[in-house]
Chains A and B, each alone.
Chain A
């Protein structure tokens, strides 16, 4: 029914199957939308946040998706600025994932504020000293960049591409894509960093505060570094999931291994920096404020020292070790374990920097505060996941996201069908020719 919209040379599931999938995920999406409307109309009393947990699940989700979406800017940086040509075969998908992550972050932020209609105050009454101001500006600008990077992909849809104006627009946008990739990398450096700064500047919170250079705490650099390191892990993980769901290989092994290797080096160097940071914080920063390391990891039911070990060793050292070795990288199971652990590790890092910061008592007569989210918070956090799945489904079905798909999955069809297809082909382009990264 929708075959005219499907990219040439690829096979997609029947419409009913696609619609069924959309319907199931759509129900989850609607559940999230309902919770979102409750929060907007009834207020944040719908959540389990309180005066100890002003920052909670949503802020974690924001930080996590932005870190995971870091694959877009870093892959673009590697492809366009460093010249890793092979990555043209995965950058489209990295852009789609980045777009989903950043639009999700903006949506969550819009739900998370007490007076959503005043959200523009952050731009109008901007406080230049606040890390959140920097986050807001860079995040919005980078979302604009991601949109610009996503548009040419949409224009490559078979039917849209038939229209000369859109064809030429897409082609010209591809021509200048390196400029946007550079802009994206620049903006990402600052907003990823300022998200790290959000917790690092809290000098009233000994668990979060870090020394630094000039106005930037060390967390500023660690967050940027970690987003560049772990973002590609998420790109690879979602690519693998898409391959499993679609039942076909979409990206060649050499491309996956290259990105995995770069990610491994980034994680390896990041985790060394993180260990140094943690050691300095535990040995110097916290004791100067009257806290020993174990003050932060004892006396409560959840935050034991295990979480620090899980974050650094399981989510950092182990994936780095696997991805840095030829054997580990080439073994698809080991590689999958590594990128999964990496994704969990970075999410855990963002979790402790937000939630554990709120949980640790600072005044001596205060106590540990633990929190669990309300169903409205959970639903609105799952909402962007459902939205992301739907966007991936639609993009995968109707856009030439994976330039190597046709080569990896040749379709044997009767001759007359091929002729029919050829007669329907636009005269100027093929999906392969128009892969945005390549153009």
Chain B
């Protein structure tokens, strides 16, 4: 299948925070699907790898007005300015790339030499460094996903929207003489694992896909959502992410970005995980 003969896709997802229970199934599914390494002691969360990380937010109020919200955060697959996400343009060795055919930000592990400039550039902390070589418990090698290469010490890794699944779905479509990958054929592990159905994944450019119908992205304005309950993290920075969030609660939506005191009629809300 030749690239460029089909409509350009923008794969992304919308996560309904009203539905998310913070169970962590998305994190487990992600780690299992992508051979994400772990250590015996994972208590230091600043050097453990979680492509999908669930944050716990609070509205900062005391009981009985306390509210919480769980916010799963994969790589935001930013489009940035004209396909230049914060991390891609800084990589000195072209080890990460923005695919304009799919909108997926890739990471080439065998080319990364571990300078970590991309990590410094990412405001979402979605990029992780392999501080150690992966060591799998005895016998676990047999359960690793054969479609995903494990990473070695000294390189950066991150969520790639289960790109290997896209490759498989595309190969299958080509084999069957189809030019398009159907919505249900390419789904990420986290979207499939979520028991609450909080994660919807698909092509944001395709009006028939659920993700498009929920978000209603406005491509004339860098994909900003027309759905009043949808928002993106750190919209003001111009990173132009393809991960959207839904919430009916205003404090949650405001927690997605930084506001000056008094801006837009209400004070700055800061919540911490």
Q: Which of B110-154 contact A (CB under 8 A)?
A: 111-117, 119-125, 127-133, 152-154
Q: How far is the CB of A296 from chain B (nearest CB, A)?
A: 11
Distance between Cα atoms of A136 and B93 in the complex (Å): 11
Which of B116, B121, B127, B263 is the one whose CB lies under 8 Å from A202?
B121
Number of residues on chain A facing chain B (CB within 8 A): 51
Which of B57, B131, B260, B272 is the one whose CB lies under 8 Å from A290?
B260
With an 8 A cutoff between CB atoms, is B161 at the interface?
A: no
Please determine whether A201 and B93 come into contact, CB atoms closer than 8 angstroms: no
Distance between Cα atoms of A364 and B127 in the complex (Å): 18
Which stretch of A111-119, A157-165, A217-225, A252-260 is in the interface? A111-119
Which of B115, B132, B271 is the one whose CB lies under 8 Å from A113?
B115
Please determine whether A43 and B131 come into contact, CB atoms closer than 8 angstroms: yes
Residues of A within 8 A of B91 (CB): 127, 130
Residues of A within 8 A of B121 (CB): 202, 204-205
With an 8 A cutoff between CB atoms, is A336 at the interface?
A: no
Flag B250-273 by CB within 8 Å of A: 1 or 0 each: 000011111111010000111111
Nearest B residue to A205, CB-CB: B123
Q: How far is the CB of A306 from chain B (nearest CB, A)?
A: 23
Q: How far is the CB of B45 from chain A (nearest CB, A)?
A: 9
Residues of A within 8 A of B239 (CB): 203-204
Please determine whether A365 and B113 come into contact, CB atoms closer than 8 angstroms: no
Which of A49, A122, A364 is the one whose CB lies under 8 Å from B93?
A122
| Given contacts A54-B120, A365-B255, A125 and B93 within 8 Å (CB-CB) | yes
Nearest A residue to B39, CB-CB: A45
Flag B147-185 by CB within 8 Å of A: 1 or 0 each: 000001111100000000000000000000000000000
With an 8 A cutoff between CB atoms, is A5 at the interface?
A: no
Residues of B within 8 A of A44 (CB): 114, 129, 131, 154
Please determine whether A132 and B92 come into contact, CB atoms closer than 8 angstroms: yes
Residues of A within 8 A of B113 (CB): 113-116, 118-119, 121-122
Please determine whether B119 and A51 come into contact, CB atoms closer than 8 angstroms: yes
Q: How far is the CB of B117 from chain A (nearest CB, A)?
A: 6
Distance between Cα atoms of A202 and B116 in the complex (Å): 13
With an 8 A cutoff between CB atoms, is B62 at the interface?
A: no
| Given contacts A45-B131, A50-B46, A363 and B123 within 8 Å (CB-CB) | yes
Residue from A113, A127, A364 with most neighbouring chain B CB atoms (10 Å): A364
Distance between Cα atoms of A132 and B113 in the complex (Å): 13
Residues of B within 8 A of A198 (CB): 90, 117
Residues of B within 8 A of A362 (CB): 123-124, 234, 237, 258
Please determine whether B129 and A367 come into contact, CB atoms closer than 8 angstroms: no
Nearest B residue to A371, CB-CB: B46
Identify whether the interface residues of B are mostly helix, strand, loop, or mixed.
Answer: loop
Q: How far is the CB of B109 from chain A (nearest CB, A)?
A: 10
Q: Which of B73-118 contact A (CB under 8 A)?
A: 80, 84, 86-87, 89-95, 111-117
With an 8 A cutoff between CB atoms, is A289 at the interface?
A: yes
Q: Which of B17-68 contact A (CB under 8 A)?
A: 44, 46-47, 55, 57
Residues of B within 8 A of A357 (CB): 120
Distance between Cα atoms of A358 and B273 in the complex (Å): 18
With an 8 A cutoff between CB atoms, is A126 at the interface?
A: yes
Residues of B within 8 A of A204 (CB): 86-87, 121-124, 234, 237, 239
Nearest B residue to A295, CB-CB: B258
Residues of B within 8 A of A129 (CB): 84, 89-90
Nearest A residue to B76, CB-CB: A204
Q: How far is the CB of B243 from chain A (nearest CB, A)?
A: 13
Please determine whether A51 and B125 come into contact, CB atoms closer than 8 angstroms: yes
Please determine whether A115 and B116 come into contact, CB atoms closer than 8 angstroms: no
With an 8 A cutoff between CB atoms, is A233 at the interface?
A: no
Residues of A within 8 A of B47 (CB): 45, 50-51
Distance between Cα atoms of A292 and B95 in the complex (Å): 35
With an 8 A cutoff between CB atoms, is A291 at the interface?
A: yes
With an 8 A cutoff between CB atoms, is A304 at the interface?
A: no
Q: How far is the CB of B151 from chain A (nearest CB, A)?
A: 10
With an 8 A cutoff between CB atoms, is A52 at the interface?
A: yes
Which of B89, B128, B133, B233 is the one whose CB lies under 8 Å from A130?
B89
Please determine whether B259 and A51 come into contact, CB atoms closer than 8 angstroms: no
Nearest A residue to B118, CB-CB: A54
Distance between Cα atoms of A357 and B84 in the complex (Å): 21
Which of A113, A132, A201, A290 is the one whose CB lies under 8 Å from B258?
A290
Please determine whether A132 and B90 come into contact, CB atoms closer than 8 angstroms: yes
Q: How far is the CB of B92 from chain A (nearest CB, A)?
A: 4
Residues of B within 8 A of A166 (CB): none
Distance between Cα atoms of A134 and B117 in the complex (Å): 14
Please determine whether A55 and B257 come into contact, CB atoms closer than 8 angstroms: no
Distance between Cα atoms of A121 and B95 in the complex (Å): 9
Nearest A residue to B269, CB-CB: A364
With an 8 A cutoff between CB atoms, is A244 at the interface?
A: no
Residues of B within 8 A of A289 (CB): 236-237, 258
Which of A114, A130, A202 is the one whose CB lies under 8 Å from B155?
A114
Q: How far is the CB of A407 from chain B (nearest CB, A)?
A: 48
Distance between Cα atoms of A118 and B121 in the complex (Å): 21
Please determine whether B125 and A125 come into contact, CB atoms closer than 8 angstroms: no
Distance between Cα atoms of A206 and B237 in the complex (Å): 8
Distance between Cα atoms of A165 and B156 in the complex (Å): 51
Residues of A within 8 A of B270 (CB): 364-365
Residue from B120, B121, B239 with most neighbouring chain A CB atoms (10 Å): B120
21 pairs, A vs B, C-beta closer than 8 Å: A43-B154, A44-B154, A51-B119, A51-B127, A51-B129, A52-B46, A113-B115, A114-B113, A114-B130, A114-B153, A116-B113, A121-B93, A122-B92, A204-B86, A204-B122, A204-B239, A206-B258, A288-B236, A362-B237, A364-B254, A364-B271
* Residues on A facing B (Cβ under 8 Å): 43-45, 49-52, 54-55, 112-116, 118-119, 121-122, 124-127, 129-133, 136, 198, 201-206, 287-292, 295, 357-358, 362-367, 369
- Give 8 closest A-B pairs by Cβ, nearest first: A114-B114, A114-B154, A290-B258, A54-B116, A54-B119, A204-B123, A118-B113, A204-B86
